[in-house]
Amino acid sequence: MKSLARKALNIDDLRKMASHRLTKSLFDFCDKGSEDQISMRDNRIALDRIKLMPRVLRDVSRRDPSTTLFGKRHDLPLVIGPTGPAGFVWYRGETALARAAAGANIPFTLASSSNTAMEKVMANGGGTQWFQLYIWQDVEAALLTVKRVLDAGFEALVLTVDSPVYNNREIDVRNDLSFPPRVTLRSAIDGILHPHWLFGTIGRYILDEGHLPKFTNVHIPEQHKSNASNYVSAASKGFFNRNDTLDWNFVRRLRDLWPRKLLIKGILHPEDALLAADCGADGIFVSNHAGNVNDTAITTWDALPAIVDAVSNQLTIIADTGVRRGSDVLKALALGADLVAIGRATLYGVAAAGEMGAARALEIFDAEICRTMAVMGLSDVSSITRDHIRLPGELPVSGSVK
């Protein structure tokens, strides 16, 4: 796996490898956004339109991309964000991601809709681990999950708040995708055409655990068990319906229950960032959820400056969506983010080659961040400022320079 992963020169190479190994429906689930993919596309456009403004003739022979977050030093200004299907793309893929993060000395976030039990991921993954929480129909059941997260030793709780209803992922409906997977003629053919995934991932679950991957990190009360089986499907009903009743009082309630770091994920409006601070959160993820939720929402990168102005003195700001290069990471930091979260980049890595693939994704980011720091005249990431970038409105209109 190591030699396969090393063939990837960049994140897009890992994406291509993942597309070859996974079934079409699973790859599309990981790779595509909701509805018309506008938000997903715009996030990349927004990042590409930000230009770096380098400084020269500074001694950059010692470059340090490390950063300190919540009192801990991390080797890169990155965190692996939560991605539900990690355990579907690779056998116990959550542990593989956690181990890759620990190897790179960055935090890892376990998604609540994951398959490997949180205690196992904590024990076998090591490093700094955070837990992401969705709230489904039964709030009290979710709070029992929070108790388990606390006992398991996760250092931060990440409450995702941008998804009060299921996203409109037409691509998954067209692909007839469901979790847990349903065996149909179409899914059987798709599986047989991708034997490395079918036998290496699904086959291993059946051999080692006696069943298909299932959700092990969501507390499902007895009375809900009969209608909790189908999680991702247009017809999803019952327990796994997302909770559309939550408001900021729930965040206050969670704050009272959770004594460690509390992060609110999916903030795009500066007033919501202020509300998160008011509720006692320690930080926020400025995120539009990989373009998976609200297809014409403002991009993270357009939203970030106003949020930084509003709350950077009160909250830790983590930004994500669309990050594929080290230069993207430096742009996010220059816009005022304290840390950058990556979703698909390491998900492609783990789908392509397990822990080695995820580690390769992080190695690529490390090399690209350090190289970009050199050409930017930066010796450490904490010295990057807003002056190191130019936004589209700050550039001469193309063609106007004689």
Measured in degrees and rounded to the nearest 5, phi and psi for residue 77 equal: -80, 50
The one among 320, 328, 355, 363 contacting ligand FMN by CB under 6 A: 320
Contacting ligand FMN (CB under 6 A), which of 15, 74, 99, 289? 289
Distance separating alpha carbons of residues 40 and 155, to the nearest angstrom: 30
The C-alpha atoms of residue 97 and residue 198 are separated, in whole angstroms, by: 20
The DSSP bridge partners found for residue 74 are 67
Cβ-based nearer residue to ligand FMN, 296 or 385: 296
Q: Name which of 30 and 313 has its Cβ closer to ligand FMN.
A: 30
Q: Which is nearer to ligand FMN, 311 or 361 (CB)?
A: 361
By CB under 6 A, the residues from 90 to 129 that bind ligand FMN are 111, 113
In the bound complex, what is the minimum distance in angstroms from residue 83's beta carbon to ligand FMN? 4
Give me 25's structure tokens: 């429906």
From the CB of 212, what's the least distance to ligand FMN, in Å? 18
Contact 24, 18 (CB under 8 A): no
Instruction: Based on the residue annotation, tell me whether 196 is a catalytic residue of this protein.
Output: no
**How many residues lie near ligand FMN (CB under 6 A)?**
24
Among 65, 67, 76, 81, binds ligand FMN (CB under 6 A): 81
Using CB under 6 A, which of the segments 81-89, 139-147, 187-195, 217-225 binds ligand FMN?
A: 81-89
Amino acid at 98: A
CB of 301 to ligand FMN, least distance (A): 12
- Residue closer to ligand FMN, measured from CB, 48 or 64: 48
Q: Which of residues 150-189 bind ligand FMN (CB under 6 A)?
A: 160
The stretch near ligand FMN (CB under 6 A) out of 147-155, 237-245, 342-350, 389-397 is 342-350
d(CA 389, CA 199): 47
Specify the residue for token string 């542990």: 95
Angle in degrees, 0-180, between the axes of helices 185-192 and 24-31, rounded to the nearest 10: 90
Tell me which residue has its CB nearest to ligand FMN.
343
Query: CB-wise, 28 or 119, nearer to ligand FMN?
Result: 28
Q: Does 265 bind ligand FMN (CB under 6 A)?
A: yes
- Which SS3 state, helix, strand or coil, does residue 55 take? coil
Looking at residue 390, what DSSP letter applies? E
Measured CA to CA, the distance from residue 352 to residue 370 in angstroms comes to 25
Residue 307: name the closest of 278, 336, 281, 328 by CA. Answer: 336
What percentage of the chain's residues is helix, strand, coil (to nearest 5)?
50, 15, 40
89 binds ligand FMN per the rule CB under 6 A: no
Region of 52-60, 80-88, 164-172, 362-370 interacting with ligand FMN (CB under 6 A): 80-88
326 lies in the binding site for ligand FMN (CB under 6 A): no
Residue found under tokens 């930080």: 283
Distance CA 114, CA 202 (A): 15
For residue 273, what is the DSSP state?
A: H
CB of 56 to ligand FMN, least distance (A): 31
- The smaller minimum CB distance to ligand FMN, of residues 24 and 63, is found at 24
Stretch of 139-147, 240-248, 336-344, 386-394 contacting ligand FMN, by CB under 6 A: 336-344
Pairing mode, strands 283-286 and 316-320: parallel
Which of 292, 299, 316, 327 touches ligand FMN (CB under 6 A)? Answer: 292
Which H or E run includes 237? none
Q: Is 299 in the site for ligand FMN (CB under 6 A)?
A: no
From residue 259, alpha-carbon distances to 81, 139, 154, 263, 273 in Å are 21, 19, 11, 12, 20
> Which of the ranges 51-59, 164-172, 343-351, 366-374 carries the binding residues for ligand FMN, by CB under 6 A?
343-351
- Given 74, 194, 289, 388, which residue is catalytic? 289
Q: Which stretch binds ligand FMN (CB under 6 A): 6-14, 82-90, 185-193, 236-244?
A: 82-90
Contact 89/72 with Cβ under 8 angstroms? no
Please identify which residue in 65, 77, 82, 213 interacts with ligand FMN, judged by CB under 6 A: 82
Check binding of 321 to ligand FMN (CB under 6 A). Answer: yes
Quote the radius of gyration of the chain (alpha carbons, Å).
21
Positions touching ligand FMN (CB under 6 A) are 29-30, 81-85, 111, 113, 132, 160, 265, 287, 289-290, 292, 320-323, 342-345
Residues catalogued as catalytic: 289
